[in-house]
Amino acid sequence: MRLIIDTNAKTVQKDDGSALDLYGREAFDLLAQLWLKTSWNQKYSYTFSWMGRPVIQHPDDMIRLQEAIYRLKPDVIIETGVAHGGSLIYSASLLKAMGKDGGRVVGVDIEIRPHNRNAIEAHELAGMITLVEGDSVAPAIVAQAAAAIRPGDVVMVILDSNHSYAHVTSELDAYASLVTPGSYIVATDGIMEMVYDTPRGQPGWDQDNPSRAAVDFAARRPDFVVEEPLMPFNESDLDRWVTAWPNAWLKRVS
């Protein structure tokens, strides 16, 4: 799509010649999607950390995630993909702030680099975090992650490791049974379907991505639906998020 932004006329002109109010909702939606693509290509999400550890997420998604965690109040959060550990620290800090001193965060990764492991294990919240190294879809590794769950626990799962369609599908199948009804399994980084044609993207990502995996999973699993958590506060006319996680939120309904 070709857009012409005229700040003097306060319009955004589209391919068909129509002009939108630059400060209107439709222009916002178009420009927000473009911003997501350019920000991803510039590695904008690589400029953020949480309590000392790189987190590598768009702040918009982190804020939405914390509200969902606050409302759900899970006892256990299982995350695939550890990287620098910022997301694990983030989840642990939220559980701690909610008074969930017995809350547990499990990080699963095929490789946890020594310097990252050392930093995570030296962190003030390390006592709430368990690291599991190995293939996230291997039955023995899934079992190690599940060992943190106690009877009656509310469990949430966040998938942020290998983002290929095949691997995300395998993770959804492997971890879905651990998610408690009313909770979520979150397939992050579906932004891949939007950025396949950027300089840092790859051809094929428009189909090979977590968003498509989540939608197809929900289509064959009546116990899950693609459903974003409700916005608890919204005094705008906007009804959709600026997010790098399209179709990420899979809610277990039974």
Beta-bridge partners for 250: 185, 226
Instruction: Name residues whose C-beta falls within 8 Å of residue 116's C-beta, 6 or more positions apart in sequence.
Output: 82, 83, 84, 85
Q: Give the pLDDT confidence of 189-241 residue by residue, as tens digits.
A: 999 999 999 999 999 999 999 999 999 999 999 999 999 998 899 999 998 89
Backbone angles phi, psi at 156, to 5 degrees: -125, 145
Would you place residue 1 in the very low, low, confident or very high pLDDT band (cuts 50, 70, 90)? confident
Instruction: Name residues whose C-beta falls within 8 Å of residue 13's C-beta, 6 or more positions apart in sequence.
Output: 3, 4, 6, 19, 20
Q: What is the DSSP string of 116-149?
A: HHHHHHTSTTGGGEEEEES-TTSHHHHHHHHTT-
Give the integer Cα–Cα distance in Å for 142 and 108. Answer: 9
Q: Give the pLDDT confidence of 53-99 residue by residue, as tens digits.
A: 999 999 999 999 999 999 999 999 999 999 999 999 999 999 999 99
Q: Give the pLDDT confidence of 121-167 residue by residue, as tens digits.
A: 999 999 999 999 999 999 999 999 999 999 999 999 999 999 999 99
What is the Rg, in whole angstroms, of the alpha carbon atoms belonging to the chain? 19
Host H or E run for residue 228: none
What is the reported pTM? 0.97
By CB neighbour count within 10 A (0-12 exposed, 13-18 middle, 19+ buried), where does 221 fall?
middle
Which pLDDT score is estimated for 108?
98
